Chains A and B, each alone.
Chain A
Amino acid sequence: MTEQVWQALIITLQLAGVTTAILMVLGLPLAWKLSSMTSRVRPALEALVALPMVLPPTVLGFYLLVAFSPNSLPGQLWQDITGSTLAFSFSGLVLASVFYSLPFVVQPLQRAFEQLDRGLLEAAATLGASPLDRFFSIVLPQTFRPLLLAASLGFAHTVGEFGVVLMIGGNIPGETQVLSIALYDAVETQDFASAHLIAGGLIGFALVLLTALYTLDRRPSRKKEAH
């Protein structure tokens, strides 16, 4: 059983890592766009992004399962391209996690971008910096902490997901079985030693991560130190 726990741990870390990486790539431009949007579409888009926060994960899981089916267009396309099905695969898990954890990455980024002094970007523009250059030389250094916070939240939230994974990932040890599912399994089979290991470990992980985040959030920035 311990071997199964280790496998689940590795899959969980892989899933959370890949999902976070994708979310940062998608979330940065999306959050930037949302933060500078003035159109009336904005609340609708914000609602769409926030949806996974309020829905039962099983709702999202259900629709994803439907979409992943080889009878549906997305599932069909995936099968044509990769030759495998999305449902009950690691790729499917990643895709589901991206949807599921999106608000946890996008929202802190959007807040950070909204608070950013746009005047600095104008100054950078008049100094010859292109939009992409401005993003890397001004926006990123100015929003480094919220960025870290967003990535951590995305990671932690993916580690903690259960409902969606159960719906679309199934429970294939060594392939799609993540820690939260392994815990459920362990309890079902009355393997309390493994259950304690996983549950205790997850609590420890969450505590350490959150403490680190709040410490980071407390520490005065260079900006405030100078005064």
Chain B
Amino acid sequence: MLSFDIHLERSGFTLSVNEQLQLVDITGIMGPSGCGKTTLLRCLAGLEKIPGSSIQFRDVIWQRERQYLPADQRQVGYIFQDGRLFPHLNVRDNLTYGVKRRHPSSNHLTPDEVIDWLDIEALLARPVQSLSGGQRQRVAIGRALLRSPQLLMMDEPMAALDWAAKVRIIPRLRELNRRFHLPVLFVSHDREEMARLADDMLLMSNGQIADKGAVHWLLSQAQGLLADDHALSVLDGTVRKVGDYGVSELDVDGCEIVVDQDDLEPGQKVRVVVQAADISIALDDVQRISIQNRLRTTLEDIQELDDKHCLLQLRLKEQVLLALITQRARHKLALNTGMIVYAHFKAARLEVQ
């Protein structure tokens, strides 16, 4: 449990947040640039001076009135957007910097364990200047982990990475939470990253918390703050069958979804991210069609985005899917809430939990 009541005035900007986070899984803090999400994370880590605010993590008071626990005593791991590896140390010495300084009572991850997990054995003797962006971030993650933190904070850890590097690092970040039982606070402006990584989410705007809730729910609301033409939805599913034609079949709320991926295990729980713009709508149950994913849904809500587009909120059994279609299509199909519609989409981009 992390509770905080933070007020911070900066030239032309006010951060004012009061919140309690359970911090079990991965909690995302999302918002546009300048909304204060990084400042909030820095306040929580003890990197900003915030007199008058209060922060408590579990039973330790981090800040209250004049009481202030400095960053080096908070036992948090912090991964910066730019890695911030120490240039005068090689990879190995960067990794072990926090080991010598960690709290004696903390759970002990061994360097070997972390090095092995992050697959950075080959980099150990290298100077950090010679690393690629993805390698740097992996070392930064390892360094933060080896400090044996009780809470891991990540500020846009993937902002400097290309898509391929992101796709490689996301499963590791998810696994990190599970494997090391480490709650994670994760800041990003990118909803795709949120969809793939976070479980719960705080939505920030203008220095305040605008909304909060489970990622699945918060991202998939046609009326929500994130309802725009970049909308996407997150579906949970279970792998049913793997391998035929290099694709896998998932069970999502009793419906079948085919994904373009065959490195999964039957029974595995997975998370599917579907872009609202990738979905097309049919009123009839078209059987003979090349598109493999065809979900029978109930049209729950229609949100007009602008003159041209609208967003449809479609319900499976439990889960919700957003579809972006044109106003023209909506009127041609005479769509109304309550109707049964079929959502079609091609092989989804998949995130394995």
Contact = CB atoms under 8 A, between A and B. Distances in A.
Interface residues on A, range: 20 to 34
Contacts of B45: 126
A141 B47 contact: no
B77 A222 contact: no
A137 B88 CA distance: 10
Interface residues on B, range: 20 to 34
Interface stretch (A40-48, A128-136, A186-194, A208-216): A128-136
A227 B86 CA distance: 16
B86 A126 contact: no
Contacts of A223: 87-88, 129
Interface string A104-128: 0000000000000101101111111
A128 B88 contact: no
A138 B85 CA distance: 11
B129 A123 contact: no
A130 B84 contact: no
A142 interface: yes
Contacts of B80: 119, 122-123
A122 B71 contact: yes
Nearest to B143: A127
Contacts of B74: 126
Nearest to B126: A226
B82 interface: yes
A138 B77 contact: no
B121 to A, nearest CB: 20
Given A127-B147, A227-B129, A141 B88 contact: yes
A170 to B, nearest CB: 47
Nearest to A128: B101
Contacts of B88: 138, 141-142, 222-223
B56 to A, nearest CB: 19
Contact of B86 (A123, A125, A226): A123
Nearest to B98: A127
Interface string B102-138: 1100000000000000000000000101100000000
Contact of B71 (A119, A125, A227): A125
B72 interface: yes
Interface string A192-227: 000000000000000000000000000000110011
Nearest to B106: A128
A108 to B, nearest CB: 19
Given A128-B98, A142-B87, A226 B143 contact: no
Given A141-B88, A226-B129, A128 B103 contact: yes
B60 to A, nearest CB: 15
A7 to B, nearest CB: 43
Contact of B46 (A123, A124, A125, A127): A125
Contact of B72 (A129, A222, A227): A129
B144 A126 contact: yes
Nearest to A119: B84
Contacts of B75: 128
Contacts of A222: 87-88, 127
Q: List the 6 shortest-distance A-B pairs measured between CB atoms, nearest first.
A: A128-B101, A226-B129, A127-B98, A126-B78, A123-B84, A125-B71
Given A119-B80, A120-B87, A127-B98, 6 more contacts: A122-B71, A127-B97, A128-B72, A133-B101, A137-B97, A227-B129
8 contacts: A120-B87, A123-B78, A123-B86, A126-B47, A126-B77, A126-B144, A126-B147, A128-B147
